Structure 1
């Protein structure tokens, strides 16, 4: 894979280094690079390759995209990974011979990948996903029968992480193939909660095809098949399916069905603390965020509900970044449609601060930024800069 050399990153690296309380020498040691390299990069005398950028990001405990200037394109790094993902998908059931790590080590790596997905760290995800998926396919083929369900569950989680990248960056066919691999692996996991998670993610194919009625039927069927046990994982799996069913019912315009699913999700959310269950954030706060999503999906008279909830409540900082960012993107759309463009722009900026890659690649952010720029042609330069940052109008 050819390496990209990024320029203009010095000020960002210097800023994040100071925030982390590190000297240049300490950062150089942590990143395994020379002090001279750090000095030259921060002074703008040289760029950094993918490898150096990744090493510096790891040393600073940041996603590499945080170190890139606004005008650089982190999506270039994501698109470089797409052929590798496609190659894995072509051979998942006949993987190449090769090594794979023990199950505990694989579980640790997959847990990190899930954390990156929840934090909308798509560049980091894209770099790791192809090799990890290939390794998990080898591990599944070579695992002892007693270990195969556990490896299959890890493959499901890793596929979901890779799908987040493919779906967010518009590779819809690749996303559909990753979901097919999830479904294949889920059958070997022999776990109804994994089946529920797979059904939750599969809804993306219905959203992409605008087949909302079919998606609603599929979610309702999956919710009916999820065990009615009191385990937090099973409760959260059912609740997540009802949350997503509420949103897709809103897209159909079926307000009564959306409200019914929200009521069920709310009741299930009250049974478990807010947390991440099988890779999905669920609990009372997640249900509140979906109330905003439903209101925006239904539009018109329902928008006031979204605005009222936002006046009374904001997502706590311990929620995953992708979910919090999504809340402000939805709120921004409600504000824009309600004739409050200034408030909408503020919400989009909050979404960007929380999860820049998520906001930048979100279709609604681009659409709304383009609309705001048309509405406020003579307004602040910051709006134009924001619109250029997210490629507003690119989906028009």
Structure 2
């Protein structure tokens, strides 16, 4: 697994050079302007996910390779990652000893807390043992609840892998998650697994197929679920559809598809009431807001994104850092796109204070910092502080 310490825009330049292509040749193949590509490479513009996907196709590499895969940190991180891969490989080899359900519940609760707090180091340390224990428990109990517990453990693996752009591990985790929920009838679990599967298409930049997965899962949820479980399934699937729509090349179609999913997510969230944790995911009206803001930024409508609220702190109150930090990063993107550099720097600082470990692995957080560093004529205390957090030079 190759990794890079370069922020996305700088990594793009390195990839283009390694492929022996000029800016004009790559721009033509990716259907982007030479001016935009040049500005991205020198740090005057951010490399957006949509452009990263287009450039990846032109280079014959995946979007995660363009954004740059994040490495693991910590003294035992390499061994822990190897142990996690081994646990997933042994999906049909449960241990002989019994595992109490209380132990699985405690492990899943810890995994949720680490995800919510974006404590990726602690999560990586926990997951190898949790996956093995949940596997043994599921085989022994053979109930929908036990298999769903295993599926949730795999979903946490997907979450960790996707954040680092380890897409081989992310795809394997999702395949195992889908397999687990199929062992006993579990329509809600199937919807959550479909949402994660669509996420792999999002991470690879294959937007149309990701939307197909979402729409098919929505149809199944409408048929197989009722009440709160149906609202939860519809909400998480619509949120994934909304995010995918924001990355469509055709922005007119993207806006149409995004609005369709925004309406569906709002309607489902109204049935849920307040935000709640469901198998490691935050579901409810506030989380719909964070996704809508991000989607409007992806659609190239930064002012519409910023107009969604006059008090962002209040709108995010009560949400976990895993939702707060990306939202402030997206606000920073919107502020940067509208020429408010100081405000963007302030928002980025808030994001990284909310989830410090995210600073080293979030591609858009690193990319916004790169551009802000380039645009500021001289470094200041805030830039230097973020440089230390992110591991990137000013």
Cα distance change of structure 1 residues 233 and 112 upon mapping to structure 2, 3 Å threshold: farther
| Distance in 2, Cα, partners of 1:371 & 1:76 | 31
| Distance in 2, Cα, partners of 1:393 & 1:296 | 26
| Distance in 1, Cα, partners of 2:182 & 2:294 | 31
Question: What is the aligned partner in structure 2 of residue 216 from structure 1?
Answer: 211
Q: 2:282 aligns to what SS in structure 1?
A: strand
| Distance in 2, Cα, partners of 1:137 & 1:277 | 20
Aligned pair count reads: 316
* Structure of greater Rg: 1
| Distance in 2, Cα, partners of 1:370 & 1:209 | 23
Question: What is the aligned partner in structure 2 of residue 239 from structure 1?
Answer: 235
| Distance in 2, Cα, partners of 1:137 & 1:131 | 10
Question: What is the aligned partner in structure 1 of residue 7 from structure 2?
Answer: none
- C-alpha contact (below 8 Å) 2:99/2:136 kept by paired residues: no
Cα distance change of structure 1 residues 94 and 329 upon mapping to structure 2, 3 Å threshold: same
- C-alpha contact (below 8 Å) 1:367/1:393 kept by paired residues: no
Alignment of 1:261-276 (within 5 A): 261-273=261-273, 274-276=275-277
Q: 1:188 aligns to what SS in structure 2?
A: coil
Higher relative contact order (CA 8 A, sep 6+): 2
Q: Is residue 225 of structure 2 the alignment partner of residue 225 of structure 1?
A: no
Q: CA deviation at 1:209?
A: 1.3
Question: What is the aligned partner in structure 1 of residue 13 from structure 2?
Answer: none
Instruction: Give TM-score scaled by structure 1 length.
Output: 0.75
| Distance in 2, Cα, partners of 1:77 & 1:169 | 17
Gaps of 5+ in 1: 1-72
| Distance in 2, Cα, partners of 1:311 & 1:107 | 39
Q: CA deviation at 1:94?
A: 2.4
Alignment of 1:166-185 (within 5 A): 166-185=161-180
Q: CA deviation at 1:365?
A: 0.7
Question: What is the aligned partner in structure 2 of residue 86 from structure 1?
Answer: 85
| Distance in 1, Cα, partners of 2:246 & 2:177 | 26
Question: What is the aligned partner in structure 2 of residue 295 from structure 1?
Answer: 296
| Distance in 2, Cα, partners of 1:201 & 1:221 | 14
Question: What is the aligned partner in structure 1 of residue 201 from structure 2?
Answer: 206
1:150 to 145, 153, 157: 145
- C-alpha contact (below 8 Å) 2:171/2:200 kept by paired residues: yes
Deviation sequence 1:354-377 (CA, Å, 0-9, x none): 111223310001111111111014
| Distance in 2, Cα, partners of 1:119 & 1:238 | 25
| Distance in 1, Cα, partners of 2:131 & 2:369 | 36
Question: What is the aligned partner in structure 1 of residue 281 from structure 2?
Answer: 280
Gaps of 5+ in 2: 1-71
Deviation sequence 1:315-368 (CA, Å, 0-9, x none): 333212201111111111111111111111111111111111223310001111
